[in-house]
Chain A
Amino acid sequence: MLAFLVRRLVGAFLVLVAVSFITYLIFVKIPGGDPAPRIAGRLATDQNIADIRQKLHLNDPFYSQYWAMMQSLFTGSLKSYSSQLNVVQEIKRGIPATLSLTIGAGIIWLGFGILVGVISAVTAGRLSDRVITVLALIGISMPVFWLGLISRYLFAEGHPLSFLPDGEYVGLTVNPWQWFVHLLMPWTVLAVLFIGFYGRVLRSNVLDTINEDYVRTAKAKGLPPRRVLVKHVLRNSLIPIVTLFGLDFAAVIGGSAILTETVFNLRGVGQYAADSVQSLDLPPIMGVTIYATFFIVLFSVVVDLLYAWLDPRIRPT
C-alpha cells in the first residue's frame, strides 16, 4: 500500500511538471504574447520596456524563464501580465465559487442519477423506463452552456418565467440562503448532463448484477426483494459509480465548470481560466492548469484507494 502511494505521488509530480511545461510551450512563443509592451502601456519609452523585460527575466533562455515562473508560482508571488493581480490570490478567490458549483452539482447528479437508475432498472422495459431513457439521452445531448443560457433567459430575473435570481456567486458565509438560490440554476444545469449518464450506467449495472448467481441465491433463500435490491444488488452496482464519480468530479473542476461558470458569470477558477486564455495571459493559465491537474491526479489516487476499500478483491498495485 505504501509503495503504491509513493509510486502514485511520484507519478503525479511528474505529470504536473510535464503538464506545466507543455502549457508553457503552447503560449511562450505566440505573437502578441510578449508581456513587456502590454505592461508598459502607450507612453512607454524603450527604456521602460527594457526595464520590464529585465524585471520579468524575459531576456533569459526559455528554460530558466520557465523555472522562474514555476518558482514564483509556488512561492505565491506570480502575477498576471494583463492585470498584475497575484495569480494564487485570484485562484483562491475563485475556489469557493468553483467548489460550491461542483460539489453541489455533484450531489445533485449523484443523488438523482442513482434514483433515476434504480427506477429505470426496476421498471426495465416499461413505459417509465423508456421515458427516463429518452430524457436521459436528451440531457446528455445538450451543450451545457446552451442549457445555461436558455435557463437564464427563461427563469432568471427580468425574464418571462422568472423565479430564480440571476447567476452571480454569493458567498456561503455572506448569506447561506442567497448562496443556495443563486446556485440552484447552475447546479441543475451542470447536473442534467450527468444525471442522465449516471442513471444509464447504474441501470445497466443493476440489470447485470440481478443476473449474478449470488443475487439469485439471495432471492432463493427467500430474502425480501427490497432487501435483496438494497443489500446485494445496489451495493455492488454502485462500486463502478464511485469510480466514475471521482474521475468526473475532477474533470468537471477543470472542464465543464469553465463553460458553466462563464455562462452564469460565477467568476470561479474556470471562468478565470477562460478569461486568461482569451487574453493570452500566461501566468494565470499556468496557475489554473496546475491547479486543475492537481485535482485530476489527486482524485484518481483517491478513487483507486476507495475502490480497493469498497471491493476487497481489488488491491491497488
Chain B
Amino acid sequence: MATESTTDFSLDSAAALAADEGGAIEGKSPWLLAWRRLRRNYVALGFLALFVVIVVMCLLAGPYAHHVAGTGPNDNHLGETFTRGGKQVEVVSKGGFTGGTFKAGGIPVGPQLWHAGGKYVFGADTQGRDVAVRLLYGGLNSLKVGIGSALICTLFALVLALIAGYYGGWVDWVIARFFDLIWAFPVLLLAIALGTALSINGFHHFGISIQSGSLWIPTLVISYVLIPYIGRPLRGQILSLREKEFIEAATAQGAGGVRVMFSELLPNIASSVLVFFALIIANNILTEAGLSFLGAGVQPPNPSWGTLIADGQSRIQTAPWLAIIPGIAIVLTVLALNIFGDGLRDALDPRAKVRIEH
C-alpha cells in the first residue's frame, strides 16, 4: 500500500499567484502562500469537503440508529419481519426442514433505500442487523483507528526523529536501528501477529491495561508498525537542517536542546509533517481494513469497514451488497484523503518528495 505525492493538480508558484492578484511579489508568510495555492485547488477542496461529509455522517451514527433505523449496530433481528408498502417482509429468509423437505434459507433482505421508512436502507446482514447502521458505526471505528493511529504514529515518529536528529551520536544510532528493525519486519505480518496476540487477553503490562476488543489495540498496533515510515524521512530532513547556519546560531545564543528542537527545527519540517499526516490517515484506514479483514483488527461484535467486508465475503453470491457497500465507503474516504493530501503537499511544499509506503 503506498501513497505518494507528486505534482499533479494545479501548482502555482508564488510568482504566478502574485501575478494573478495583480501585484508585485511581496514577502508573505509561507503558510499564507500555501493557503492561497490550496484555495485555488478546487479538486482538492472538493475532496476535502467529501471527507468532511463522510466524517460528519459517521459522527451522526448514533442519532441515525436511534431515530431513523430504530436499531443499534449489534442488534440482531433474526426471525423478525418489517413492513414495506403495507406488506410484512422477512429480515432474513426462513429455511430448514418441514417434514422431509429441505429449503435453503438465511438470505438477508437487500437494500430497501427509503421504501421501508428508513429501515434496512442498505439491507440486512445474515444476523438481521441493519447494514446502514453498521456502516456508519463501522466508519466511526475505522476513522477513529485511522486518525488516532495517524496522530500517535506521527507524534512518536516526530519526537523520535527530532531527538535523533538533534542529539546525533549514539542516541541517533539507537533510534535509527530501531527504525531499521521495524522496517525490516514484514509490516502486515507483524501487525496481524501483534493484533491477534493482543486481542486474546488485551495488554496488561507496565501499568497500562487495555482490554481485549478495545479499539486501542488496532490503533496502537498500526501506529507502532508504521513509525519508521514517517520517522526515517523526517530524521533525514532534520539531519540536513542541523547543518544549517540558523541552528548553529540558535545554539550559539545558548538555546537548549528542547528549544532548538521545537522552535527552530520543528517549524521547518512542519509542512512535511502536515502532509504526511493527511496521507497516512488514508494509508492507516486501508491498513485497518486489511487487519480487520484478517480478523486481527477491530473485534466483533464491533463493526469496522474491514470486518464488514470480511463478514460479507461468505455471502458474496446471495447478498453481494454486504461486501460491496463498505468497500465503496473505504474507497471514497481514502480517495478523498489522498487527493486532498496531494493538494496540500502541492500547496505547502511543491518540491517535497513525501512518500509513505508499505
Contact = CB atoms under 8 A, between A and B. Distances in A.
Task: Assess A/B contact in the complex (Cβ within 8 A).
Answer: yes
B320 to A, nearest CB: 6
A40 to B, nearest CB: 21
A134 to B, nearest CB: 8
A19 interface: yes
A255 B189 CA distance: 6
Number of contact residues on A: which range applies? 35 or more
A201 B357 CA distance: 12
A153 B317 contact: yes
Contacts of A292: 186, 189
Interface in B341-358: 342, 355, 357-358
A201 B4 contact: yes
Interface in A235-293: 244, 247-248, 251, 253-256, 258-259, 262, 273-274, 277-278, 280, 285, 288-289, 292-293
A197 B193 contact: no
**Interface of B, helix, strand, loop or mixed by DSSP:** helix
Nearest to A201: B4
Given A143-B327, A278-B196, A201 B6 contact: yes
B186 A207 contact: no
Contact of B184 (A15, A138, A145): A15
B185 interface: yes
B50 interface: no
Contact of B290 (A15, A145, A280): A145
A254 B188 contact: yes
Given A278-B295, A289-B189, A15 B181 contact: yes
A264 to B, nearest CB: 12
A145 B311 CA distance: 13
B272 interface: no
A204 interface: yes
B193 A254 contact: no
B317 to A, nearest CB: 7
Given A258-B192, A259-B294, A248 B200 contact: no
Contacts of A255: 186-189, 358
Given A23-B193, A30-B200, A285-B193, A149 B3 contact: no
B6 A258 contact: no
B309 A194 contact: no
A79 interface: no
B323 A150 contact: yes
Given A137-B335, A143-B293, A194 B2 contact: yes
25 contacts: A19-B185, A31-B201, A137-B342, A141-B338, A143-B290, A143-B293, A145-B309, A149-B309, A149-B323, A197-B2, A203-B6, A247-B357, A248-B357, A251-B358, A253-B186, A254-B187, A274-B294, A277-B196, A277-B294, A278-B196, A280-B196, A280-B200, A293-B185, A297-B184, A300-B184
